């Protein structure tokens, strides 16, 4: 994960919080989501979305992004 996200999660364990995570990458998510879950064992992870790019073209469909946003809004 990006260093700023790691710092935030180190300082805020998000205990009992509902958490929705998205990440961006150029084809390699790595273990970002697993790492975030391990860092916040008492958070409630609800939605997770990986937004994948190929150079400047977004490969994840806009529909998926909209679904993610609508689930959070609900
Ligand atoms: C130092 C660093 C190097 C990265 N290198 C790659 C890479 O080679 N390929 C790639 O697809 N993503 C790369 N990423 C993006 C990470 O996969 C991405 O940061 C992670 O999925 C979390 O998403 P976010 O930065 O949107 O929070 C890199 C991120 C960082 C911080």
Domains: count for the chain: 1
> 3 CA to middle of ligand 1, Å?
10
pLDDT at 27: 86
pLDDT for 13 beyond 90 = no
Q: pLDDT digit string (tens) for 21-68?
A: 999 999 889 999 999 999 999 999 999 999 999 999 999 999 999 999
27 lines ligand 1 (CB under 6 A): yes
Strand 57-58 relative to strand 44-54: parallel, antiparallel, unpaired? antiparallel
Which ligand 1 atom is the nearest neighbour of the CA of 30?
Answer: 17
- Domain span at residue 32 reads 3-73
What pTM, to 2 d.p., does this model score?
Answer: 0.87
């Amino acid at each position: 994960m990006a260093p700023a996200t790691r710092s935030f999660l180190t300082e805020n364990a998000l205990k009992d919080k509902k958490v929705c995570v998205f990440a961006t990458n150029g084809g390699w998510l790595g273990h970002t989501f697993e790492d975030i879950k391990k860092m916040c064992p008492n958070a409630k992870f609800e939605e997770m979305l990986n937004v994948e790019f190929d150079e400047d073209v977004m490969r994840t469909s806009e529909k998926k992004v909209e679904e993610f946003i609508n689930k959070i809004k609900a």
